[in-house]
Amino acid sequence: MSLYDGPVIDAHHHFWQPRLGRQPWLRPGVDIGFRYGPYESLKRDYLPADIRRDAAEAGIDLVGTVTMETEWELSDPVGEMEHTAGIAEEHGLPDAAVAHAVLRDPEVGAVLDALAGIPLVRGVRNKPGQAPTPAEAASAPSLLTDPSWRRGFALLARHGLSFDLQVAWWHLHEAVPLLEQHPEIPVIIDHAAMPSDRSPEALAAWSQALEHVARFPQVSMKASGIGRRGLPWTAEANGPIVRRLIEAFGPDRVMFASNFPVDGLTATYAEIWNGFREIVADLDPAEQRLLFAGTAQRVYRLPEELLGGTTETSGPTES
C-alpha cells in the first residue's frame, strides 16, 4: 500500500465573495434548508488564497482546480463567469470553470454563445431538480424529461461544452435518452449521485442506478460532496462509496474533488483528501494518479503541463 503523493487537481470547488451579494442563498438572513444543516459559516469569502492554504495544511500538491457555478443571480450567468475569469487572471486559479445556464430558457442559445466566448469556461451545470425520495420519483420526474430542457442540452454540442449533472441517483435512468442521443457531449455526474442514505437497501438501489449511466463512455463521475450531516468524514464511512464508483466507471472516469467550502461543513480539507488517499492506497500508482488528477485534466481539458507534461491517455476521448 502506498499513499498518493503526486499532483492533485481539485475537480469541484467554489470561489465566492458573499459580501458582494450576488448569490441569493448566501445573503444575510437567508436559509434555504441546506442538506448539511445550518450554513452561516459559508457566508464568507473563499478565494484562491484560501484553497491554497487549505491544500498546504492538507499536505497535498494542488496543481490545478475547477470551480463550479455558485447559484449566482439567474439573470446574469455570463457576469458570474466574467467575475470568475477576473479571479483567475489575478490569482492564477481556477484553471477551468463550469458555468450556469437555464437550459429550458428559449434564449439559452445566446447565453451559451457568450459563455463559450470565455476561455475559462469548459461546461455548464443546470440542476434539473429531483423528487425528495426514490418513492416519489415516478410521479415527480426531473427536468431531464422536459423537451425544452433537452433542446437546451443539445445546444452544448455546438460549442464543445460539457455538462455537470447534479441529481439524486433515483433520477439517473431519466438521463439515458440524452446520453443515447448525444454521445458527443461529455457528462460529469456530481457528488456521486448523492448517496446520502447509507442503509443497505438504499446503497443497493444506488449501486444499481449507477449502471444506467456507467455504460456510456462519455460519462464521468465525481467522488465529491459525500459528507453527511453530523457525521465525521472518514475512509471507513466513505470508502465503500468511492470504491463502488471506481468499480462501475474505472479510475479513468472518476475524479476526486473537495466541494469546498461547502463540504467544510462536514470535514476539513485535509480530512477529505487524506481520506481519499487512504481509500485508494492499495491501487496501482497510475490509477491513483488518474483519480487525483488525470481524469480531471482530460475531461475538463486542462493544460498537460499541470501534470508535469504527462498526458493522461486512458479512457474515452472528449471533444
Domain boundaries of the chain, sorted by first residue: 7-307
Q: Please state which of the ranges 109-123, 222-236, 301-315 shows the lowest mean pLDDT.
A: 301-315
User: Helices 48-58 and 269-279: crossing angle, nearest 10°?
Assistant: 50
Looking at the domain covering 7-307, what would its CATH class be?
Answer: alpha beta
Q: How confident is the model at residue 1 (pLDDT cuts 50, 70, 90)?
A: confident
pTM check: above 0.75: yes
Inter-CA distances, 173 with 72, 134, 145, 316, Å: 29, 12, 10, 21
SS3 at position 204? helix
pLDDT at 166 over 90: yes
Q: What is the pLDDT of residues 216-273, one digit of tens each?
A: 999 999 999 999 999 999 999 999 999 999 999 999 999 999 999 999 999 999 999 9
Q: What is the pLDDT of residues 17-34, one digit of tens each?
A: 999 999 999 999 999 999
SS3 at position 106? coil
